[in-house]
């Protein structure tokens, strides 16, 4: 498969971790891990989409392209990924006459994603011509059999139809979507212009099974500290 756009979303604002996209992780900007993995993979072009000149400069220094700045309306806390992807596709179609076959949506918050992981996902999509997407899935940490919700002032089981055994290991494995691997064919991404279109076709995707550390996704300060510890351990860097 050729003509793959690696799109790295990195807006300036961040709710859970301030400035997380360029915050040092094991001594290097978080976004650099994603840029370098993508550059070492079979992705044709690695592009950062951001509203920040500072983030753009750091991404470019790591090896990414910065052909545009993302418009303000697509850099809010409520902006959705589909709009960000379609903006990038529109830019390349209008200014370069280029439409990639697929888009790899590479969030910087998955710093343990490697070039080998990216290439494996590309190969999986190529081997499944009827599928629209490849998406990573990871085993759930807290099984829904043990989940509760509040109704009318009291707690009730969220999924009462799931048998709750005495031993957790007797439960059927369950998996959750993960943001490390998100690859979709362009025709799917342009097939529906709804703002809430997922960048992964959840009704027609190939599952990419992963575990830690690849499944680590940075949303909170605790996540960042844990990822920093893991990365330092992996690289042999003293804390």
Q: What percent of the chain has pLDDT over 90?
A: 82
What structural domains does the chain harbor? 4-139+177-235 (3.90.550.10)
pLDDT one-digit tens code per residue, 80-131: 999 999 999 999 999 999 999 999 999 999 999 999 999 999 999 999 999 9
Which parts of the chain are beta strand (E)? 4-9, 24-25, 28-29, 45-49, 102-105, 133-139, 148-151, 154-157, 175-185, 205-209
pLDDT of residue 90: 96
Q: Residue 223 and residue 220: Cα distance in Å, rounded?
A: 5
- Is pLDDT of 232 > 60? yes
Report yes or no: 168 and 134 within 8 Å, Cβ to Cβ. no
Q: What percent of the chain has pLDDT over 70?
A: 98
Segment 73-79 mean pLDDT: 91
- Is pLDDT of 18 > 60? yes
Mean pLDDT (the chain) is 93
- Is pLDDT of 196 > 90? no
Q: How confident is the model at residue 69 (pLDDT cuts 50, 70, 90)?
A: very high
pLDDT one-digit tens code per residue, 152-179: 999 999 999 888 876 777 788 889 999 9
- Is pLDDT of 1 > 70? no
pTM for the model: 0.91
Q: Residue 168 and residue 137: Cα distance in Å, rounded?
A: 20
8, 31, 59, 112, 147 from 106: Cα distances, Å: 5, 10, 13, 12, 31
Question: SS3 of 129, please?
Answer: coil
pLDDT of residue 166: 67
Burial of 190 (0-12, 13-18, 19+ CB in 10 A): middle
- Is pLDDT of 14 > 90? no
Q: How confident is the model at residue 2 (pLDDT cuts 50, 70, 90)?
A: low
- The three-point CA angle 193-60-214 to 5° equals 70
pLDDT of residue 195: 79
Q: Give the side-chain half-sphere CA count within 13 A for 147.
A: 12
């Amino acid at each position: 498969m050729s003509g793959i756009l690696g799109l790295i979303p990195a807006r300036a604002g961040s709710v859970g971790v301030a400035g997380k996209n360029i915050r040092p992780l094991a001594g290097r900007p978080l976004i650099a891990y994603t840029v370098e993995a993508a550059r070492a993979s079979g992705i044709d072009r690695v592009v950062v989409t951001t509203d920040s000149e500072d983030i753009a400069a750091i991404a470019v220094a790591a090896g990414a392209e910065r052909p545009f700045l993302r418009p303000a309306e697509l850099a809010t806390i409520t902006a959705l990924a589909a709009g960000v992807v379609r903006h990038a596709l529109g830019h390349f179609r209008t200014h370069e006459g280029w439409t990639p076959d697929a888009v790899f949506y590479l969030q910087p918050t998955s710093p343990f994603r490697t070039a080998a992981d990216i290439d494996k996902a590309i190969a999986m999509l190529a081997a499944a011509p009827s599928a629209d997407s490849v998406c990573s899935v990871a085993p759930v940490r807290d099984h829904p059999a043990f989940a509760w919700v509040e109704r009318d002032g009291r707690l009730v089981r969220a999924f009462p139809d799931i048998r709750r055994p005495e031993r957790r290991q007797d439960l059927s494995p369950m998996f959750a979507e993960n943001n490390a691997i998100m690859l979709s064919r362009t025709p799917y991404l342009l097939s529906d212009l709804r703002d809430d279109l997922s960048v992964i076709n959840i009704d027609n995707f190939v599952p990419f099974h992963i575990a830690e550390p690849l499944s680590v996704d940075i949303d909170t300060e605790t996540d960042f500290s844990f990822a920093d510890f893991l990365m330092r351990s992996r690289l042999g860097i003293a804390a």
